[in-house]
Structures are given as C-alpha cells and as structure tokens.
Amino acid sequence: MLYGGCDLGVVSAKAAIIDDNGPLAFEILPYTGFPQEAATAVMEKALARAGVSRSSIARFLSTGFGGKAVPHSDGMVPDTVCLQRAVRRLNPNVRTVVNVGGHSFTVFHIDDRGGLGESPVTDMCTAGMGMLLEVISTALEVPLDNMTWGSSSLGKPLFIDNQCPIFAESEAVSLINEGYDRCDVLAGVASAVANKIAGLVRRLGVMEEVAIVGGVAKNRLVMANLEKNLKLRFADLGGFDPQVVAAYGAALLAREGCSLDSQSLSSTAAERIHREGKS
C-alpha cells in the first residue's frame, strides 16, 4: 500500500510518498502564492515522480505551519512528532533534534526509549531562520544555493548587528556600498544565524548525538559556523535531504494509521507515537 505526507511551511511545501518497504519519492516546492495550491502542486509532483495516482494513496497526513490548509489530508500531525518519528528511523542514536525552517526554530530531545522530551524550545522570530538568508541572498544578488562561500575557512565574517531581515538587509547592502567583499558579508550573516541557533540549542541543553533538519541545514556556511560554535559534528542521517524529514515522518505515521487530530487519536495511538514503540 502507498502512504503520503505533506509538510507545508511558510516558504516551501514538501511531500513524501512511501510504501510498506520504504520511500518512493520526495519533492520540495518553494512558493510565494497560495499555500493550498502549493500543497496540491508538490503532492502532484511527488506522485508523478513515484509513478502513482492520488487514488492509490491509502492514507495521507499533513504537518507544518500550514498543515491545516493542505487539501485532501486525512489528518494533521505536529511537526515535532513527525521529526521524532523520521529521525528515529534514520538514526536511532540521535538525542537532540534541531529544526530550522523558513520562519521558525524548534529544538527538542528524544529520550532513551525514543519518546519526545517534555520541553521543546520554539522560536517564531525570523532572525536566524531561512527567511533571513533568503532576504540577504536576494539583496546581495547571490543565489541561495551559492551561499557557501568560505565554508572551509569561514571567511572573515563582518559583525552584523541586526538580525531582523529588514534591518539586516539594509546593513548588508550598506557594507557592500562601503566596499566590503560579499563573501565577508555572507560570512557575517552566517555567523549571526549560527549564533542565534546555538543560543537556543543551549537553552534546552545538548544531548549528543545531535541532528539538524530543515532548509537551513542545507546551507554549508551556516552549518560550518554552527558546528564550530557548538563544538560538535552533526549526526549523519544517511544522506537524507534534511528539508523533507518532517514530510517523511508524516508519511511514516500515515503508514501506521495514526492521526493526531484531537477527535480521532486514541490514547493507545498517542502513547505509541510518544514512546516510538517500533524502530
């Protein structure tokens, strides 16, 4: 049987299609229009990649900031639960999960039994998140995929005082106009983003191994800064795209027949999801 998951964020939609044996297809779709249309489009792309039709999906769950807006979903699951489920499948040794998306940040622990820790830390400010990086890449006319300059040496980062995207953009442009190199400006932004993330991670406490997921995890310049700041190496997730981990977790839960809608989730299912009864 086939199962699907959709993670609808503020700047991108992600979809996963799996069967009883494992993953079949993943898709990521950046969007600036209506979220419902983005969710539909990314699912259609994933279905096409898997070579299957929508009617063949036995169960389909949604997650993310816009999870309730996903059409044809059989239920919505909190992203922390999806991430916990997927990370446990990808690397059962992980004890701290850092999720950095377009507009929000979450860090939580996974206990020795595989269940969610009690007190996740969440920050909804765009400072230190993916939207800040997108704003800066546009302002400096550097494609986001190329914001890896200086990742080996971390460049000569310039101190970026503002982390609000609007003011950070103005500051970055001013530095360029003053004659500073774009590489050093980007290094400064990456350092500021990493400092923001590291500070929030320390609020919860670091339990190794640590995995980082979300779109920002694909920026090598930020990752290099963050690993240096936290003095660790992030756990290997088997080469899995960090941006689709939540969608994958939603699909895994769909395969288990679980939904966290308050009116449809049984106490037995809730307990099973929390303790991650299966590997």
Say whether both 117 and 69 belong to one domain: no
Q: Is the dihedral of CA 35, 67, 197, 161 positive or negative?
A: positive
What is the span of the domain harbouring residue 265? 2-82+244-275
Specify the 3-state DSSP secondary structure of 187: helix
What separation in angstroms does the CA of 131 have from each of 7, 12, 42, 134, 173?
A: 17, 11, 20, 5, 17
The pLDDT score that the predictor gives to residue 275 is 45
Contacts of 155 (CB under 8 A, 6+ apart): 149, 183, 184, 186, 187
Query: Is 264 contained in some domain?
Result: yes
The pLDDT score that the predictor gives to residue 146 is 57
Say whether both 14 and 69 belong to one domain: yes
Query: Is 185 contained in some domain?
Result: yes
Contacts of 134 (CB under 8 A, 6+ apart): 11, 102, 144
The pLDDT score that the predictor gives to residue 155 is 52
Say whether both 43 and 113 belong to one domain: no
Distance in angstroms (rounded) separating the CA atoms of residues 5 and 183:
38
* 156-168 CB burial, b ≥16 within 10 A, e <16: ebbebeebebeeb
What's the angle, vertex CA 5, arms to CA 72 and CA 194, rounded to 5? 130
Counting as low any pLDDT under 50, the low residues of the chain are 149-154, 260-279
Say whether both 142 and 47 belong to one domain: no
The pLDDT score that the predictor gives to residue 189 is 80
The pLDDT score that the predictor gives to residue 156 is 65
Tally of domains within the chain: 2
What's the CA dihedral at 58, 88, 10, 161 to 10 degrees? 180
Say whether both 122 and 182 belong to one domain: yes
- Asked if 147 and 190 touch (Cβ cutoff 8 Å), the reply is yes
Q: Encode pLDDT of 223-270 as tens digits.
A: 988 999 999 999 999 999 999 999 999 999 999 986 544 333 333 344
User: What number of residues does the chain have?
Assistant: 279
**212: enclosing H helix or E strand:** strand 210-213
The pLDDT score that the predictor gives to residue 278 is 37
Query: Is 236 contained in some domain?
Result: no
Q: Encode pLDDT of 136-163 as tens digits.
A: 777 777 766 655 544 444 456 666 666 6
CATH number of the domain residue 194 falls in: 3.30.420.40
pTM of the shown model: 0.84
Sheet holding 210-213, edge to edge: 121-123, 105-109, 96-100, 210-213
Say whether both 97 and 163 belong to one domain: yes
Neighbours of 91 (CB within 10 A): 15
